[in-house]
Amino acid sequence: MTDGRTVFEAFAASVARTPRAAFLCTEAVTAAAYGLAPGETTWGEAAREVTRLGQAYADAGYGHGHRVGLMLENRPAFLFHWFALNAVGASVVPISAEMRAAELEYLVGHSEIALAVVLPGRGHDLAAAAKAVGSPLVVHALDAAELARTGAGRPDRDADEPPHFTRPALPAPLAERPIDGSTECALLYTSGTTGRPKGCILTNDYFLAAGRWYAGLEGVCEVRRDGERICTPLPLNHVNAMAFTTMVVLVAGGCLVQLDRFHPQTWWRSVRESGATIVHYLGVMPAMLLSAPPSPLDREHAVRWGFGAGVDRQNHAAFEARFGFPLVEAWAMTETGAAACIMANREPRHVGTSCFGAPEDFVEIRLVDDEGADVPDGTPGELLVRSAGPDPRRHFFAGYLKDEDATNEAWQGGWFHTGDVVRRGEGGVLHFVDRKKNVIRRSGENISAVEVESVLNQHPIVKTSAVASAPDALRGDEVLACIVTREPLPAQDRERAARSIVEHALAQLAYFKAPGYVAFVDRLPLTLSQKIQRGELRALAATLPGQPHCIDTRAMKKRQG
């Protein structure tokens, strides 16, 4: 497909082909959540907004080599600012609106963003974070009118009136270099296993490869050019929505239905109203939808198939039988993008077996044991991947920002080490077994235990802490914190102390990272070198919920308004 060398050029190619067709659908539930008018934005309307913003960024001096943070949730404005910044060669750093002080300070300092474009009322949070780390960050808080521009939500104002951005502290560092496929398009943060989140450098080539891979799917998952309406509730600060859903629409045309988030009670209403033909999901979503009573409307929709990962094996066949379309499991990571994406898009899909398909010719894989030796079929091993051909890193992430050692470690031996344990079955299909990395996965969010521990250890009554996952029937995993207090804690004070610790975490971290259980223990399981014994900790954590010294704090974990 002739979709150019950059994300902006892919967007522009579809604009030229279908200017009057719908590009973005804002259905009623999302519109109400964001204070917008429901309706559709055409490709032509979106292009005018992107041009307006791009000119304003260029006039203010933003360009090739700058990074710009976007805290705009799943609003249409996120897409328009992203494409406009891509046009001038700037990279975007999506910022979750759930982030709080400690997380913002780390992101601002580590990414060295020159500008943050944020929601009304959040400017002071970014400014405080910048001050704390000594950053010359420029903060631009959008007003309600700017957030509501384009399509059905456009206010009655001059369409050509440009926003006014303050000039960056430093000029664009790569202003003299051409903007092409190797230009950094985005910096996405992914939770690590032993420290702070890592910044994955993602190029235009990475994003275009994801869109082209998706647009070229065959078997169960054919994508009709200019004919799909693709619906996702997943956040635009994650790779799935940003690199897969958005990019296939840019490459293959059609309409993007970007929801504000997943609402179980109104999901089917949004799907029907938007005319969605493809939906994206995470494993927790089918379980929630199946828990609702059966309805005559269960099959009153236009969905042809669903794209996702992690559906519970017991729910997979039941969901397809009730709602009438296949849930097609896939595997990928932020680091791999589509360069090593594996998908069960051909029959037999082995529904209900945690199968995510067999690798295509463009990717090579190995399954290895802890010593790096290949394991036989049927035996679980860590999944290693690389691109086939002369360049094993083709269309993967370009590296971890400011962490060459971590990049080289991930690529040890010329293979990308995924940390996921997989087994190969009959016919070469792969089945997901478990995660090797020390990451808690709660409702699709990857949470670094070390990051949470670093915040908990700042609480005045905490001597030390260790965080692990506890099983949760609804969310897969829940965060459980084992706490050793500085002074002995009477039993009657446990509830109050647990609440204080969780309140402290909620002030510093996104709500989903805070402990859902707080267990007060006399000691932590440690190795001889006084490091946390993670395997023993995980086994312990599974036994703690329900015990008197383990306080259930899940009710405190509410999405921030």
Instruction: Specify whether 315 is located in the same domain as 402.
Output: yes
Instruction: Specify whether 411 is located in the same domain as 283.
Output: yes
Instruction: Specify whether 345 is located in the same domain as 414.
Output: yes
Instruction: Specify whether 135 is located in the same domain as 50.
Output: yes
Establish if 427 belongs to a structural domain.
no
* Domain count across the chain: 2
Establish if 26 belongs to a structural domain.
yes
d(Cα 432, Cα 435) in Å, to the nearest integer?
9
Q: Is the pTM of this model over 0.85?
A: yes
Q: Which domain covers residue 390, as residue numbers?
A: 7-147+168-420
Reported as half-sphere exposure (CB side, CA atoms, 13 A), residue 29 has a value of: 19
Establish if 156 belongs to a structural domain.
no
Instruction: Specify whether 488 is located in the same domain as 543.
Output: yes
Question: 416 and 394 in contact (C-beta within 8 Å)?
Answer: no
> For residue 97, with 0-12 CB atoms within 10 Å meaning exposed, 13-18 middle and 19 or more buried, which class applies?
middle
Question: 151 and 42 in contact (C-beta within 8 Å)?
Answer: yes
Question: 312 and 327 in contact (C-beta within 8 Å)?
Answer: no
Instruction: Specify whether 251 is located in the same domain as 392.
Output: yes
**Which one, of 441, 447, 462, lies nearest residue 524 by Cα?**
462
d(Cα 507, Cα 442) in Å, to the nearest integer?
19
Establish if 432 belongs to a structural domain.
no
Instruction: Specify whether 394 is located in the same domain as 478.
Output: no
Instruction: Specify whether 378 is located in the same domain as 463.
Output: no
Instruction: Specify whether 255 is located in the same domain as 326.
Output: yes
The pLDDT tens digits along the chain (561 residues) read 468 999 999 999 999 999 999 999 999 999 999 999 999 999 999 999 999 999 999 999 999 999 999 999 999 999 999 999 999 999 999 999 999 999 999 999 999 999 999 999 999 999 999 999 999 999 999 999 899 887 555 644 445 677 899 999 999 999 999 999 999 999 999 864 445 789 999 999 999 999 999 999 999 999 999 999 999 999 999 999 999 999 999 999 999 999 999 999 999 999 999 999 999 998 889 988 998 999 999 999 999 999 999 898 889 999 999 999 999 999 999 999 999 999 999 999 999 999 999 999 999 999 999 899 999 999 989 999 999 999 999 999 999 999 999 999 999 999 999 999 899 999 999 999 867 766 788 888 878 788 899 899 999 999 999 999 999 988 889 999 999 999 999 999 999 999 999 999 999 999 999 999 999 999 999 865 567 888 889 899 999 999 999 999 999 998 865
Instruction: Specify whether 396 is located in the same domain as 452.
Output: no
Instruction: Specify whether 372 is located in the same domain as 459.
Output: no
Establish if 435 belongs to a structural domain.
no
Residue whose structure tokens are 């290949």: 374
Domain CATH number, residue 546: 3.30.300.30
Instruction: Specify whether 548 is located in the same domain as 413.
Output: no
